[in-house]
Structure 1
Amino acid sequence: MRSRSRVWGGTAAVVLGGLLAAGCGASEKNDPAEENAGKAVSGGYPVSVTDCAGVKTTFSEAPGKIVTSNASSLELLLRLGAGDKVIGTGFPPGKGTLPGALDTEAQKVRVLSQSVIPKEKLLGSGADLYIDTFADMSMGGGMGDTPTEAEYKAAGIKHIYLKSTACAAQSRSALTDLSAVEADITSLGRITDTSARAKELVTGMKSTVAAVQKAVGSTAQSARPTYFFFDYDAGTKQPTVVCNRQVANAVITLAGARNAFADCDGDYKQVGWEDVIAKNPDWIQLGVRDRGSEAANKKAFDEAEAWLRSNAATKGLKAVKAGHFLRIGSEHTTIAGVENADTVETIAKTLYPGKVG
């Protein structure tokens, strides 16, 4: 079965198929040329970044009109303080998905599509930068009719990728840390002239994860509990699991657990319930996307738990019988962003009570 990339917007999940290798490691370090570009001039420009295949894009100034492919890149820009530059997005975040003021700001962004932005609408958007959360479609497969690099250039749009998602899903190694997410934040900070804020965000993430690692890092692999991310919103007929190229694998690993499907190469994969039974996880995260209110979220979590407890195929699982459920929103676990670090801490506190403060 081919690997699949998942994107989110509100309570809907979209599964994308047929992505081919983009040749970018999940934990790759920044290109030295990217790190040093622009340091010789005031304001930090020009700035150069590379895509999944190593192709360089140079910015002589900060972009003023940005379109994001989905809520992942939109959220990063909002957290960097560059939200006023965003003129449109695809796969918008559902109301209440982001915290406080970020949610208010996100709801003001023009929605170009509830899913993949149509080619003509994207090219005619007036953007000078498109941030792509998906894998490189120019190498085959893809999501319908997407623009070519020549068409982006003709429209005056620079096209860059999030390496923590577009590249990671097709990398040759498992995603076990948040370095790719941190690199994306740093890169977007340099592009949008918000490097100081990017440094604050990355420093905060590193501090949170380091504290967890100090508390649980010495636990032997064999002693770490197994962990199943139950993607309730993806459907219950055939479970969709997070594999070792998905950022959730890094979150689970850093929290001191073992992803039950870490032996699956790719980002997502559909399996059978017999496969889940064979794994018999110690803990299950109820993967529910934000419904927009605390009451609606509780109802969805209750439904997910009730399904596991009543279904003949799952009610005998070790985690179900022990009541080992974690109620953590899907977005914070499976979407590359700042809150991945907070989710590491949240999971660790549940799995290692008393060890993680």
Structure 2
Amino acid sequence: MRPRVFCGIAAAVALFATACSSGGSGSGDSSNGGGATQASAAGAFPVKVVDCAGKETSVKQAPKKIVTTDAAALEMLLELGAGDRIIGTGFPPGKGSLPAAVADQGAKVPVLGDTMIPKEKLLGSGADLYVDTFGPMPGMGAAGAGPTEEELKAAGIQHVLLLSTACASGPKAAKGPRTDLAEVENDVRRLGAVTGTAARAEELVGAMEKQIGEVRTATAAVPEAQRPGYFVFDFDAGTKQPMAICGKQVANAVITLAGARNVFADCEGDFKPVSWEDVVAKNPDWIQLAVRNRGSEEANRKAFDEAEAFLKSFPATQGLKAVQEGHFLRLGSEVTTIAGIRNADTVRQIAATVHPTLVKNGQ
């Protein structure tokens, strides 16, 4: 996705950090009112869904015209096979950021907003379903004030939240760090039920669980104290002040499942600006060079090279253990910090790098 796409990573998007956070379950806890969508049978309607406060509504029939807030929701729907029903999105995917299998279809989806979709455009889109990754964003002021539930209802648009990303704050938010991908999997199942693609959703979740289960089994014997410290260096957020991945961000679950230890897991919320002194104090064993997809292998390689060169030349980071030992991972931001099916692939990639004798990538 483009630098503007994701909440909390780019400097400009840091404004979203407190409101557009990735909540979800910490250890399989569905206390945020999430859980799997309720349906009497695969493909049956109505389908009951809940919001972050646990309020229940019903989707009466499979939607024919869907609008998504951003590329995260868009990608899930494309993977579920509902792409032919998507009539628009906000925060569109950047070139090269979608999986190859759905990239062409994703590129054809009309862009209704380069960032948040203007309220009037959303209400007049003709959609019958709005899949919302973020939910209300009071920290964004007027820019984050989307349509009210009453306005959506009046326009004939049903509203479904991705609970894994929209419900980090409030009384129903999960307690403690996020250590699994249960809520991401639940979102896949929810969208599968809502769009009548439940069978495909189970296939996708089954593949995620198989891959993650293999990694967890392989690394189970590694004591907590011996799990390597891991820092995600968000190069696109700028180098003046690093942005830490906190315990409630989906990346914390990805890192934990990979058998590593997020060095900033103890900070509250999902993202937090920190200082280079803070990073030095944590002295991570591994550093992920997290850059957003530039659209080509050559452009991506150049961005990774620049991120690595900065850490090697910057006085504050030259002496870090990871820098001294060349312990860098070149993994994109999108598949690490954005909730989605590819999180499971990232779990294996990280595990295969930090535990090469235990986990083989792609096997």
Distance 2:126 2:351 in 1: 44
Shift of 1:32: 9.9
Shift of 1:60: 1.5
Per the alignment, residue 136 of structure 1 pairs with 136
1:146-185 equivalences under 5 Å are 146-168=146-168, 171-185=174-188
Distance 1:21 1:293 in 2: 29
Read off the aligned partner of 1:290 and give its amino acid letter.
N
Q: In 2, are the aligned partners of 1:243 and 1:263 still within 8 Å (CA)?
A: yes
Moved more, 136-145 or 324-333: 136-145
CA offsets 1:211-261 (integer angstroms, 9 cap, x no match): 001110221110000000000001111111110000000000000000010
Secondary structure at 1:256's aligned position in 2? Answer: coil
Shift of 1:138: 7.4
Distance 2:325 2:139 in 1: 46
Q: In 2, are the aligned partners of 1:57 and 1:158 still within 8 Å (CA)?
A: no
1:163-312 equivalences under 5 Å are 163-168=163-168, 171-312=174-315
Q: In 2, are the aligned partners of 1:189 and 1:197 still within 8 Å (CA)?
A: yes
Per the alignment, residue 48 of structure 1 pairs with 48
Structure 1 316/23 Cα, relative in aligned 2: closer, same or farther at 3 Å?
closer
Over aligned residue pairs, what C-alpha RMSD do you find? 2.7
CA offsets 1:323-346 (integer angstroms, 9 cap, x no match): 000001110100101110010000
Structure 1 301/140 Cα, relative in aligned 2: closer, same or farther at 3 Å?
closer
Shift of 1:47: 0.6
Read off the aligned partner of 1:14 and give its amino acid letter.
V
Distance 2:96 2:140 in 1: 36
Per the alignment, residue 120 of structure 1 pairs with 120
Structure 1 181/13 Cα, relative in aligned 2: closer, same or farther at 3 Å?
farther
Secondary structure at 2:199's aligned position in 1? Answer: helix
Q: In 2, are the aligned partners of 1:208 and 1:342 still within 8 Å (CA)?
A: yes
Per the alignment, residue 97 of structure 1 pairs with 97
Secondary structure at 1:37's aligned position in 2? Answer: coil
Distance 1:299 1:88 in 2: 32
Moved more, 282-291 or 140-149: 140-149
Secondary structure at 1:203's aligned position in 2? Answer: helix
Identity of counterpart residues, as a percentage?
57
Secondary structure at 2:87's aligned position in 1? Answer: strand
Structure 1 54/136 Cα, relative in aligned 2: closer, same or farther at 3 Å?
farther
Shift of 1:36: 4.5
Structure 2 unmatched runs, 5+: none
Secondary structure at 2:67's aligned position in 1? Answer: strand
Per the alignment, residue 37 of structure 1 pairs with 39
Q: In 2, are the aligned partners of 1:251 and 1:341 still within 8 Å (CA)?
A: yes
Provide the TM-score with structure 1 as the length reference. 0.91
Read off the aligned partner of 2:273 and give its amino acid letter.
Q
Q: In 2, are the aligned partners of 1:20 and 1:140 still within 8 Å (CA)?
A: no
Distance 1:340 1:24 in 2: 14
Moved more, 214-223 or 140-149: 140-149
Q: In 2, are the aligned partners of 1:289 and 1:331 still within 8 Å (CA)?
A: yes
Distance 2:22 2:103 in 1: 32
Read off the aligned partner of 1:104 and give its amino acid letter.
D
Q: In 1, are the aligned partners of 2:46 and 2:59 still within 8 Å (CA)?
A: yes
CA offsets 1:91-116 (integer angstroms, 9 cap, x no match): 11111111213111111000011111
CA offsets 1:252-302 (integer angstroms, 9 cap, x no match): 000000001001110101011110011010000001000000111000000
Secondary structure at 1:7's aligned position in 2? Answer: coil
Read off the aligned partner of 2:167 and give its amino acid letter.
C
Read off the aligned partner of 2:40 and give its amino acid letter.
G
Structure 1 168/204 Cα, relative in aligned 2: closer, same or farther at 3 Å?
farther
Structure 1 232/35 Cα, relative in aligned 2: closer, same or farther at 3 Å?
closer
Distance 2:188 2:237 in 1: 28
Distance 1:147 1:279 in 2: 42
Provide the TM-score with structure 2 as the length reference. 0.90
Q: In 2, are the aligned partners of 1:13 and 1:233 still within 8 Å (CA)?
A: no
Q: In 1, are the aligned partners of 2:21 and 2:269 still within 8 Å (CA)?
A: no
Structure 1 unmatched runs, 5+: none
Per the alignment, residue 82 of structure 1 pairs with 82
CA offsets 1:16-64 (integer angstroms, 9 cap, x no match): 155399996554449799654333xx84111111111111121111011
Number of residue equivalences: 351
Q: List structure 1 runs of 4+ shifted beyond 2 angstroms.
A: 11-15, 17-39, 135-145, 168-173
Secondary structure at 2:13's aligned position in 1? Answer: strand
Q: In 1, are the aligned partners of 2:280 and 2:317 still within 8 Å (CA)?
A: yes
Distance 1:140 1:295 in 2: 35
Secondary structure at 2:251's aligned position in 1? Answer: helix
